[in-house]
Structure formats: structure tokens, C-alpha cells
Amino acid sequence: MKLVLANWKMYKNLEEINSFEKEFKKNLKNVDSPCSHGVAVPSIYLIQAKKIFNEQTKIYAQDVFFKKEGAYTGNISYSMLLDTGICGSIIGHSERRQMFNETDETVNLKTISLVENNLEAIVCVGETLKEYESGKSFEVVFNQTINALKNVSSKHLSKIVLAYEPVWAIGTGKVANAIDINQMIKKLRTKLNSIIGELQSKNLKILYGGSVKSENADEFFKQENIDGALVGSAALNPIEFVKLIEIGGKY
Ligand code: PGA
């Protein structure tokens, strides 16, 4: 059974969230075994989204700050997520790394603040097109991963979901090859064995993200090392999102 997470980015207003949910619920009813799934919504709608969706659909933030509280204008804290019953957050999405100065160090601090407070961290890693073309993909992804996991106690690793999202495949329609992605994740797990432990590395959930849609989801989900998908544009459509959840439930 795979995990399908939607990343809505800075899309949808309240009315659109309500109509998405209606259509989503209607279609999900016909799915025999839906896989685990969740939606990362813009922070202003977190509380409402939590009320609108039923419990089966987990609600995530798209970013969170690592301090409990303080003079950090514009941020929301992990303790605010806890307070409002939100289950966790995406951390280190490439759009945040590229446009909002997210660094490996802040990704690490944010990840620790979430998991130590019983919240889930969906940690995104991935190489840029330039890094991909110069053959540095593995090195970049491995370094981002170990930096994100630094000082995370092994008892908290089950709260982490890694999302491998090659930057060149995000929102571009350029889909990565599923076999290559599987190989990449396999190699990553093997390298992680000696760092976090063999069992922990085997159990670490690793998703693929980048132009996933219902037409190509099977390709990814049938790969042994890919535990699911983080989906942007396709998941803005409730019917597409249900299809992905249905496909994820087959594996
Ligand atoms: P995409 O986005 O599915 O639109 O490529 C994925 C993501 O940004 O997480």
C-alpha cells in the first residue's frame, strides 16, 4: 500500500477547498481500498481544511518554523500545528530552497522540531537540472538527506517521510524514468544502512515527486523502493487525486 500526498502549494481559496472535498468524497466512495493519503494546504486554511475533510485524509502544512514561539513575523511554529491538530508539515520543498533561502541546516532544525513533538516531517530532497546533467544527482540527494537527518534520534525516524523530487521534474511535465528513480532510492537506502541502521533504512518511507499523474502513477508505484508520491498539479483536481489514491491502494 502506497502513500499519496498532495501538495497544493499556493493554490485554492476556501470555496475551492469546499468544492474539492465534495467531489473528492463522492469519488473516493467508489474506491475499494484507498491508500493512506494527505493534503498539504496553505497555512491560512489549515484549521478549516481539518474540519472540511474527514479523518481519513491527513492535513499537512507546507512549511513550519523550528522555534516554539517568538518574534518571527510571518512564521507558524510546530507548537501551533500541535495545538490545531495538524499532523505535520512538508519541509525543504525545492521551491522553498530556491526562493525562500531554505538551507540544509534549517531543514534539519525544522525536521527535528517536528519529530521531537510527535509530528510528521515530509522532507523533500532533489537535484537541480544542472546537477543532474553534471552527474551529481546521487551526491546531492545523499548529502541533503544526511543533513536533514542529522541528530534525529532513531526512535523518531518513523515520523519522517522522505520525498525525492528531482527539481527538473517538478511542475515541468518532464517525468523522470521510474526505473532510474527506483535505482536512485535503492542506492540511497543502501548508503543509509550504515548511518541510520539497516532496519530503519528499509522502513524509511521514500516517495517520488515530480509530474506524477494517474497516467504514470502505476509505473512508479510498481517499483519496490518507491513508497508513494508527493503530487503537485495533478492533485489540484479531486478526480485525479482519487485516481492516484486508488492506484496507490493496489500495491
Ligand atoms: P508536480 O509538483 O507534481 O506539479 O510536479 C510536485 C511537487 O512540487 O511536490
Q: Which atom of ligand 1 is nearest to the CA of 235?
A: 3
> Is the confidence at residue 70, as pLDDT, over 90?
yes
pLDDT (mean) for 111-122: 98
| pLDDT tens, position by position, 137-173 | 999 999 999 999 999 999 999 999 999 999 999 988 7
Q: What is the reported pLDDT for 158?
A: 96
Give the separation between CA 223 and CA 211, rounded to whole angstroms. Answer: 17
Q: For ligand 1, pick from 4, 165, 174 the residue to mutate: most ligand atoms within 8 Å of CB.
A: 165
> Is the confidence at residue 240, as pLDDT, over 90?
yes
231 lines ligand 1 (CB under 6 A): yes
* Alpha helices (H) in 56-197, listed in sequence order: 78-83, 94-99, 104-115, 129-133, 137-149, 178-196
Cα(115) to centroid(ligand 1), Å? 24
Given the DSSP bridges, would you call strands 88-91 and 3-7 parallel, antiparallel or unpaired?
A: unpaired
Ligand 1 atom 3 nearest Cα = 232
Give the separation between CA 55 and CA 127, rounded to whole angstroms. Answer: 34
171 lines ligand 1 (CB under 6 A): yes
pLDDT (mean) for 12-40: 97
Cα(106) to centroid(ligand 1), Å? 21
Cα(7) to centroid(ligand 1), Å? 7
Ligand 1 atom 7 nearest Cα = 232
Cα(230) to centroid(ligand 1), Å? 7
Q: What is the reported pLDDT for 49?
A: 98
Active-site positions?
93, 165
94 lines ligand 1 (CB under 6 A): no
Residues 6 or more apart whose CB falls under 8 angstroms from that of 47 comprise 84
230 lines ligand 1 (CB under 6 A): yes
pLDDT band at 99 (very low <50, low <70, confident <90, very high): very high
Q: What is the reported pLDDT for 142?
A: 98
| pLDDT tens, position by position, 204-231 | 999 999 999 999 999 999 999 999 999 9
How many Cβ atoms sit within 10 Å of the Cβ of residue 64? 26
